[in-house]
Amino acid sequence: PLQYIYAMVFALEEINHSATLLPGVKLGYHIHDSCAIPLWALQATLSLVGGDSTSCNSAAQLKYSAGCPCLSDRRQFPNFFRTMPSDIYQARAVAHLAIHFNWTWIGAVVANNDYGLMAIKTQGAGVCLAFVETLQRENIMSDARRAALTIQASTARVILIFTWYTDVRELFLTSGDLLQNPSTSKVASGVLGVAIRSSPIPGFENYLRNLNPFRRPDERFLREFWEKIRLLQKTSLPLCNGTESLERVQNLFTDTSQLRVTYNVYLAVYAAAHALHNLLSCPDSNNPPGNNSCSYPKHIKPIEYLNNLNFTTPQGEMFYFQGADIPAKYDLVNWQNTPKGQLKLVLVGRVDGFDLHLNESAIQWSTGSSQVPLSVCSESCRPGTRMATRKGEPVCCFDCIPCAEGEISNKTDSPHCERCPSEFWSNDEQTACIPRQLDFLSFNETLGITLTTVAVSGATVTTAVFVVFLYYRQTPMVRANNSELSFLLLLSLKLCFLCSLVFIGRPSVWACRFQQAAFGISFVLCVSCLKVKTIVVLAAFRSARPGAEALMKWFGPGQQRGSVCLFTCIQVIICIIWLSLSPPVPQPDFDIPGLKVTLKCAMASVVGFSLVLGYIGLLACTSLLLAFLARKLPDNFNEAKLITFSMLIFCAVWVAFVPAYVSSPGKYAVAVEIFAILASSYGLLFCIFAPKCFIILLRPEKNTKKHLMAR
């Protein structure tokens, strides 16, 4: 543009009039028109430096608009300098903006060259591209329409455009496809751009407006521009007479509000002038740079003066080269609508190297508000969920899966859920681990109250039967089959009912020990009484045979009591050894999932518990076998029949207990054991004593020795 040319001329005139920079030295210029053709630009450059590529490689080259990162390679371009930052910093700034605003799903419309493709490669981790459309200068119309259609069809709400500004104008203003959609016609008003740094040049606007071809007759560029301005005005105006000016002309040439590349031209001229000043300066400061007796050392090349350049610009800014580049500085600009409906660039931030400084409240988005638009393939996963990538789709497209019970995620977009420690459990939202609550079968809950009521009722009924038997102890029904064993059996049944209460409540060290001992000993006492009763029945009928009269001598009252004590003592010894060596202890059952963890009596030794149950089972099975053998003995009231039926119920209950106990979780395993104790106790109580009480209380005429002995 013509403005770049006169920025160079303006800077040269400032330097030539300076009393401190290159005093006594006048700088000139030689301008060639490349007509935007690269080959012509190369020919003009070669003509300036000597006419061949060798001269071009040895001369210092100072560029004001070259941003290719490849030019930073000092091995390949040792003599190249530029006053424009490498494009890599601009691409990184765009990527930084995407990360800053949490835009993870964006579309890309880029130039089909290294400049545009580099922007795609530098996008940060976690940013996915919904589409990539390229623009070719030669096919800009068709490419812009294709890109516009892709934008409309995409779910991405943020579009990355990395191309020359003329291509952007074509995309937004020329492409009819984009403007047909009302929702996208306002996109241009919300553009957020990373622009070349702008800086004012004092006096430059006044300088441009005072340019006149009559005062500069040799400047063909200015004359052509002046004629173009005249063609835009009314043709009836008289011919130029030299008194005209650009004071009221408003166009890109006279607009100095956004001096970007123009300022780079200005800096390039000053950089060359300061390097030349350092080159011509003598060690003796009394000799001015124009003194012919001053010369620079032979071992220092002129190019090194640019490498070591460091000066302060007229705007008060420090200027120096970092290799071929200057420190990366950009403006963050926002296209906003003015009250007149026009677009203007508003400065909303800046970029210094890798640092981003942004005033978000000053940004006006395409929606017309300051609310940051959301552009994601998938909504963020809230705490309590985790991201699950969809198969065959980018990582930014995912589903939010709730964490499993016992696992948490306490941050947004967590890639995985973390399992809580065994002493903790996840809350309802799966966002935090909270201490697990101890749970046990208590007397206050419905299940505990029900089992307690059933146990107390069983003990009460047993006591009532005991009272009935005690009251009618002289009757034949009570005295039959050793009344002493009947009273002992009732006592053991009452202990069985009451021992179930020990299993209810908070487990403690002594409660865990006592409940198993009470359970094992009570049931052995009960089954021992039944076994001895059955043996007595068999012995009584066997002794009635000829030659077997002495058999009952071995099963008198003393032997019966001794047998019960022997069977019971064996269980007592098993319990003492078990509880002494490896007793059960109260321990939380962390293996069962859930917020509530059951505090139970953990069996430290399964062998001990198995021996207790096994011994009860052995006595029960032998009692069942003996009772089964005696079931058909002739008698009007054969107690063996009742024992057989009661032991069938007893064995059935405890055989069903094992799988039910193993499969029941937490405190319900304790409830299953209590239920087995109560069910088997009730079975023994009713099967053995209900018929007797019926005869004693309701059929007293049958409570005679004659009736009982009848066959």
3-class DSSP state of 292: coil
Chain centroid, CA 108 distance in Å: 27
State the average pLDDT over residues 502-529: 89
Of 66-80, 218-232, 456-470, the one with minimum mean pLDDT is 218-232
**What's the rounded Cα separation, in Å, for the pair 692 and 690?**
5
Instruction: Give the pLDDT of residue 269.
Output: 95
Alpha helices, DSSP H only, in 552-598? 557-581
> Residue 643: pLDDT above 50?
yes
CB 596 within 8 A of CB 437: yes
> Residue 202: pLDDT above 70?
yes
Give the phi and the psi of residue 646 in degrees, each rounded to 5. Answer: -65, -40
Instruction: Give the pLDDT of residue 293.
Output: 47
CB 469 within 8 A of CB 483: yes
**What's the rounded Cα separation, in Å, for the pair 527 and 542?**
22
- β pairing state of 80-82 and 61-63: parallel
- β pairing state of 329-337 and 437-439: unpaired
The DSSP bridge partners found for residue 408 are 418
Of 51-60, 77-86, 359-368, the one with minimum mean pLDDT is 51-60
| Residues ≥6 apart with Cβ < 8 Å to 451 | 441, 500, 504, 671, 674, 675, 678
pLDDT digits (tens, 9 = 90+) for 648-684: 888 888 888 888 888 888 788 889 989 999 999 999 8
The pTM of this model reads 0.62
Q: Amino acid identity, residue 67?
A: G
Under DSSP, the state recorded for 124 is P
**What's the rounded Cα separation, in Å, for the pair 669 and 387?**
38
Which tops the pLDDT comparison, 494 or 141? 494
**What's the rounded Cα separation, in Å, for the pair 646 and 650?**
6
Instruction: Give the pLDDT of residue 179.
Output: 43
The overall average pLDDT reported for the chain is 83
pLDDT digits (tens, 9 = 90+) for 694-711: 888 888 888 777 776 665
C-alpha dist (Å) from residue 155 to 96, 146, 396, 615: 21, 16, 13, 74
The residue written with tokens 């329409």 in the block is: 145
> Residue 151: pLDDT above 60?
yes
C-alpha dist (Å) from residue 27 to 303, 435, 575: 18, 82, 113
Instruction: Give the pLDDT of residue 12.
Output: 95
- Residue 64 CA neighbour count, 13 Å, CB half: 19
Instruction: Give the pLDDT of residue 632.
Output: 66
pLDDT digits (tens, 9 = 90+) for 356-384: 899 988 888 887 777 888 888 888 899 99
**Most confident residue range from 205-214, 232-241, 443-452:** 443-452
Q: Which domains, ranges and CATH numbers included, belong to the chain?
A: 1-45+200-236+250-280+300-314 (3.40.50.2300), 87-199+330-362 (3.40.50.2300), 385-435 (no CATH), 446-709 (1.20.1070.10)
> Residue 218: pLDDT above 90?
no
For the chain, how big is the Rg over CA atoms in Å? 52
